[in-house]
Structure 1
């Protein structure tokens, strides 16, 4: 019996096969820009720099989810012999600052015996569909905020929300079944955040730095938990998200606002956007950059011009992680109502509101005006997800510090060129202001002022 040949496959060369299936090519197995591009996991990304100690901790929430929290407790001693000079960067115009720090003066008191003797603690939290990896994926070492903070002598912790790649575990539930994914922003704010703050560090308080949804869960958590306000000495919100205006494409925006629960019909009741992770594995990183750039331009109108092509090639490989469909629906409920509210378990089945209709129920808003923790905000005036006027109207006045950058978009607060010159010095200034209990020598090899000058002048 003779073999039947398929004409098209018969004519394909090995080079053609490599183009269709890039993982067959040895070249595609090599990083295009940096080993960070192919690094599998947070700890390997940190170890790439060979300068930082790294730990992994597990937090058990009150509802029995097991969250992975990463920690950079210190800098290795030999690190200071290998400091490399950064390239020059001139920030563009269009930066505005509102500074009310004089209204939040705190005395730098010496520690008394029996008080916490450790380092000041900083907790960083990622955004929607992300993980802790986004904080350490800059291709320049000193463009990664956790490394700068570790150099300054802070005890750096990085949270991971339930459902993402590091926190898909539960004492009783399996992520293969729908009950595991029955969570929204409510649980991020009322379970994950306070349980993570309470766990492990032993410090009486800490500074919280959130990006995007990481800010939303803090706004929500602080608004409903008075004890949490006592444990967070400062909340730094980067690219804050509480009431996004909607999506850039008018047809999709109108469709989602009309019936946000239709997302359940599209994605089911577990986790969305698995297709994005599929294509990330299937196509080469430079092509994946083009796919993501086209997608965010279509949905949000972002250009991505403030991030280099090399940076995107690396950071987009660490951009996506899983979450629940319910949390996506929650965001679309917020967009639809224009209010920063709790998840609506009984949304109206009508796709529109009539003039004579009376709501049969109204989900409670997060009472953000009740927050007592000092708040600092960094946002881009070209970020379609941030409406500062709406945000600030829902927050207690005055805000401790506000910095806006005219041409910056959402993701720029993670990976924009010059972020270490434009944003990080302000963060260091804020941390020094709101962490008054300092040991006799907080430094990890350099004085605080020396490090700040080093960042500014390189």
Structure 2
């Protein structure tokens, strides 16, 4: 019943209710059944599991203010970048079985970037994300790499005094890394090793359900653009509140939100994402992103190229001086790269990881990870068994 009420509230919102009235209404009717860890914020989680968390704000060259978390350690610095629709939280929400905490347990100096548009990085030195929507939200993973990641790498190097750092990126986190190092190749010299977990670059031979959704993408995204929808999954917004409410209700929530909505797109592994974890997961996810970012990924699939954003013929001529957007020059990614693909991943297929491997000049390691879907790289209860040993071996080798 409450889910129906929330849906009606969303309709009221979309027929010109004010954001203030709408959020107030949602706060009264939403009923989130969260675990303790689902209620704790990033800093509280890190503290609970035996470490100290610091927060910094880094201003990019184009004026965005991104929040960077730091878990101090005595070993080399490791920078973590997150996937689409998430932020730094998922790297710590399984406690000692989370990659961020596990790295800190090993003594690494852990840094975590929250990309522009997430709930932690919804700021600009001049632009208002609500009043200047078309301008503020005019970005994709390209800008997250070219600006956010570049500024964060420089900040970490300045703070630590190191000459090079280790880096790990999941899905979109890998996309932005390759966007950066291919277009600003000087950043290759600042990375000892980059671990690309389920990288989002090439999308060949995708499952039928993905093909159907991606093929309808241009129409749906254009409708969103026409309606002035530039921000998706805003924290405490209509969609996110509905997701959190519907997906924290036990067995029914698992069937609807996980088996029916998530597994068909990311891969099926009920042992990796178990029922009891939902009350923690949906306390921290999803996190906001730009409509343009989703459009860019849709273009990658439809054009079958890892290329820059397609603005149409006129826009491309103005932006790039050519009719079609240029491919990212992956031959310029000269830093050491390790690629890990999940055998159960239906979003970042093993095949496409191998395609990426062939396009990069310096892949030092390629591995197919057992019993791992797309989201298992970050959320899975099985990650300490199937994933962490390989990660720690590689970090130690290039540390």
TM-score range, shorter chain: 0.7 to 0.9
Bigger Cα Rg: 1
2:234 matched to 1:254? no
Residues of 1 paired with 2:214 and 2:189: CA distance? Answer: 39
Residues of 1 paired with 2:390 and 2:51: CA distance? Answer: 23
1:54-453 → structure 2 map (5 Å cutoff): 54-74=53-73, 119-138=75-94, 141-176=95-130, 177-178=132-133, 179-199=135-155, 200-245=159-204, 248-249=208-209, 250-256=211-217, 262=222, 264-265=224-225, 268-274=228-234, 275-283=238-246, 285=248, 286=250, 288-293=253-258, 294-298=260-264, 300=265, 302-305=267-270, 306-346=272-312, 361-386=323-348, 387-397=352-362, 399-435=363-399
Contact 1:229 1:371 in 2 (8 A): yes
Q: Secondary structure at the match of 2:273?
A: coil
Residues of 2 paired with 1:311 and 1:164: CA distance? Answer: 22
**Alpha-carbon distance, 1:302 to partner:** 2.7
Greater alpha carbon shift after TM alignment, 275-284 vs 305-314: 275-284
Contact 1:35 1:48 in 2 (8 A): no
**Alpha-carbon RMSD:** 2.9
Residues of 2 paired with 1:303 and 1:65: CA distance? Answer: 37
More helix by percentage? 2
Aligned length: 358
Q: Deviations over 1:355-376 (max 9, x none)?
A: xxxxx71101111122111111
> Tell me, which stretches of 5 or more residues in structure 2 are unaligned?
7-25, 316-321
**Alpha-carbon distance, 1:343 to partner:** 0.9
**Alpha-carbon distance, 1:153 to partner:** 1.9
> Tell me, which stretches of 5 or more residues in structure 1 are unaligned?
1-15, 75-117, 350-359, 436-458
Residues of 1 paired with 2:359 and 2:116: CA distance? Answer: 27
Q: Specify which structure has the bigger relative contact order, considering alpha-carbon pairs within 8 angstroms and separated by 6 or more residues.
A: 1
Which residue matches 1:98?
none
Contact 1:37 1:315 in 2 (8 A): yes
Residues of 2 paired with 1:312 and 1:17: CA distance? Answer: 19
Residues of 2 paired with 1:124 and 1:23: CA distance? Answer: 32
Q: Secondary structure at the match of 1:57?
A: strand
Contact 2:369 2:387 in 1 (8 A): no
Which residue matches 1:35?
36
Q: Deviations over 1:339-396 (max 9, x none)?
A: 01111122599xxxxxxxxxx7110111112211111111112212222232222212
**Alpha-carbon distance, 1:407 to partner:** 3.7
Which residue matches 1:46?
46
Q: 1:379 to 1:348 in 2, by over 3 A?
A: farther
Residues of 2 paired with 1:168 and 1:154: CA distance? Answer: 28
Which residue matches 1:112?
none
Contact 1:185 1:343 in 2 (8 A): no
TM-score where L is the length of structure 1 = 0.71
